[in-house]
Amino acid sequence: MYNDVKANGRIRQSKDGNTGMSASYVRGLHMMMHSCLERAVKERLILRNPTEDCIVPKLEKKAMHILRPEDISSYLKEAERRGVLAMFFLELTTGLRKGELVALLWSDLDEKAMTLNVSKQAVGVKGGGVKVSRPKTETSIRKISLSQETINVLKAEHEKHPDIEYMFPSPITLGMYYPDSVTAIHNKILKSAGLPHIRLHDLRHTFATLALQNGVDVKTVSSILGHFDAGFTLRTYTHVTTKMQEEAAATMGKLIGANI
C-alpha cells in the first residue's frame, strides 16, 4: 500500500507531472496507522501491530542552502526596491515558515514588549484557496523576541497601511498574501539582484545557520523556529554544530594545554 501511495497517491498530477506522494507523507501515514493499530493491540482487538513489519520509505533529503552573509545586503536592497523589505527582513531575523509569515496581523506584534505572537498559519486547500488555521503542533505556537532593528522596520511598514489588519498585505487585494506569491517575489529578488537561486524555505535555514554560528544556543534557536525539540534542530543543522564542536575542542585544547 505504501509503495502504491508513493507512486500513485495523488488525485491530480503535480506541476512537474508527478502522480505520487512524497516519502515524508508516506511516513506520516505510517505513523498514524501505527498509532491506531497500537491502540487496537492495547485494547486486545488484534494480537499484534501489522505495521511493525512494514518497510517505510527513507526520507529524501533536499540540499540545504543559505543566503550567503555577503549577499544579504544586496538581497535586502532589492527587497526594499520592490516594497517588501519588512517582510523579508522579518523572515531573515526570525526564520518564520511561509504560512506563518503571510498570516501575521498587526495585533500579533507587541511593540512595547518587542515580541511577536505566532499562533496561526495559511495553508492551501483543494480548489486553489487558502485558509488560516492553527499550526499542527503546539510548539509551533510561540512568542518570539524581536530586535530593535526589526521593530523599527515593522513600524515603518505599518505607517504605509495603518488601517489594514494584515502585517504584509497584498498590494493587489489588500488582503492576505497567497503563500506562493511570496515565493515568486523571493525568486524575483534573487534574479534582479544577480544572486544564486535558493528556495524561500532556505531563508529559514539562513536564520538558523547564522544564529548558531554567532553563538545563539541550540535550544533558543529551536524555540524560535518552533521545532518540537532541540534534538531535531541539532540533527537538522549538524553541519553547523559539528563545526562549532570542533572549534570548542580546539579552544579547550589550547586552554588546558597551556598548563602543561
pLDDT in tens, 106-116: 999 999 999 99
Contact criterion met (CB below 8 Å) for 182 and 87:
yes
Cell of 17: 507531472
To the question of pTM greater than 0.95 for the whole model, the response is no
Cα(first)–Cα(last) distance of the chain, in Å? 64
Contact criterion met (CB below 8 Å) for 126 and 89:
no
Where, residue-wise, is CATH 1.10.443.10 in the chain?
Answer: 69-223
Report the run of H or E that residue 204 belongs to, with start and end.
helix 201-213
Residues of the chain with pLDDT under 70: 12-17, 59-62, 127
Contact criterion met (CB below 8 Å) for 77 and 83:
no
Confidence at residue 15, expressed as pLDDT on a 0 to 100 scale? 61
Contact criterion met (CB below 8 Å) for 227 and 91:
no
DSSP 83-144: T-HHHHHHHHHH---HHHHHT-BGGGEETTTTEEEE--EEEE-TTS-EEEE--SSGGGSEEE
Which are the contacts of 227, defined by CB distance < 8 A and separation ≥ 6? Answer: 139, 233, 236
Task: Report which residue type is found at 10.
Answer: R
Confidence at residue 188, expressed as pLDDT on a 0 to 100 scale? 97
Q: Give CATH superfamily name and number for 69-223.
A: Intergrase catalytic core (1.10.443.10)
Confidence at residue 131, expressed as pLDDT on a 0 to 100 scale? 87
